[in-house]
Homo-oligomer: A and B are copies of this chain.
Amino acid sequence: MDRNSVGIVTPNKFTFGSVEEPMVLESGRTLGPVDIMYETYGEPNADRSNAILICHALSGDHHAAGYHSPHDPNTGWWDSMIGPGKGFDTRKYWVICSNIIAGCKGSTGPLSINPQTGQPYGLDFPVVTIGDMVEAQKRLLDHLQIKRLYSIAGGSMGGFQVLEWALRYPDMVRSAICIASAARLSAQAIAFNTIGRNAITRDPEWREGKYSDKGPEKGLATARMVGHITYLSEMLLDAKFGRRLQSASRLSYNFTTEFAIESYLNHKGSAFTQRFDANSYLYITKAMDYFDISRSHGPLKAAFANVTARCLFVSYSSDWLFPTSQTKEMVRALLSNGKPVSFIEINSPYGHDAFLIEEEKLTHILTGFLTGVAKEVAA
């Protein structure tokens, strides 16, 4: 039992928009009504100025901390960072995390019923962008009567949302924490997403997105396996698995799962199909591919000119999916605008996944940064 857990939490659902008054998306298409699942940890202060929005990555959801029942074996995906005395200290901050639109954990997405047809949206769901995800979060914050976020934080695609918030609503973001992220997805990252999507759509069980029950489990598992390799460093794979055989000392000379790394990837792929929707995977990776600050807000220096948030950028030395060079590009753009910006590259062997693993290193940095934001407010 983690004494610093936020304990049992209950997800909430917020609904906005309707068929008649839908949300207008960046594509020009519309969506409504829109459900947003969210959880909160800690308590709001009197003027709700202590709110911190946590933005999740590709496979995350609104359940960022605590557990859902007394015997729940799983805690939220960032439980190590959110709780009393943790990096996002719930004794001081009111922490909120919502499931993105296009997700599959209760927020409106391809699994939801299309009010026009009475059937699940499937591929009728409109393509959404990181900006659309942020707009939906904005509606949630309005509903929660939050005028200005004390901070906003996220890693990977969560970092995309952090950046989009800081650019779109500078007056609402007091500080921003962008972890293991970038101003745009690289060609290589788009390539990996392309393979994941192809694996899904080439699975005959996908049925043009109109699957029921199991769906394209094999394709989704392959997509997840590709993703997993990109989340881990070569160094870590060598240290953790190397060329170790899973359960034998001799080579099998057949095509059974044989190396420990094969077994690990197969397990990760299969497990993912139990908790994630294949169509959601298509939409979310597409939103990631589309993210490009330069396309939506102009060249980086100009784009960051209006940012008022105090920014913290964190990268990890062995992250090759979102390498440090991409973080530095943003730091340079903010510096060239004379903005206060903090940047640290954390030495870690864990690759991109380090932001979910290296809790101790990140905790020290977050605690200091968030305290500094408070001082600035007091000044």
Contacts and interface: CB of A to CB of B under 8 A. Distances in A.
A282 interface: yes
Contacts of A201: 255
A141 interface: no
A188 B226 contact: no
Output the residue of A184, A188, A204 with the most chain B CB within 10 A.
A188
A190 B243 contact: yes
Interface string A105-135: 0000000000000000001001100000000
Contact of A253 (B127, B186, B194, B221): B127
A187 interface: yes
A341 interface: no
A191 B290 contact: no
Nearest to A252: B127
Nearest to A187: B237
Interface string A199-226: 1011110000000000000110110011
A327 to B, nearest CB: 15
Nearest to A233: B188
This chain's copy number in the assembly: 2
A57 interface: no
Given A238-B186, A254-B127, A261 B194 contact: yes
Interface residues of A, number: 56
Given A187-B238, A229-B191, A261-B191, A253 B222 contact: no
Contact of A255 (B123, B221, B222): B123
Contacts of A204: 204
Interface string A134-149: 0000000000000000
Contacts of A192: 229
Contacts of A286: 255
Given A27-B253, A251-B290, 17 more contacts: A27-B251, A185-B243, A187-B234, A187-B259, A187-B261, A188-B234, A191-B261, A194-B259, A194-B265, A195-B222, A198-B225, A199-B222, A202-B203, A226-B226, A234-B323, A243-B292, A320-B320
Interface of A: 26-29, 123, 126-127, 184-188, 190-192, 194-195, 197-199, 201-204, 218-219, 221-222, 225-226, 229, 234, 237-238, 240-243, 251, 253-255, 259, 261-262, 265-266, 269, 282, 286, 289-290, 292, 295, 320, 323
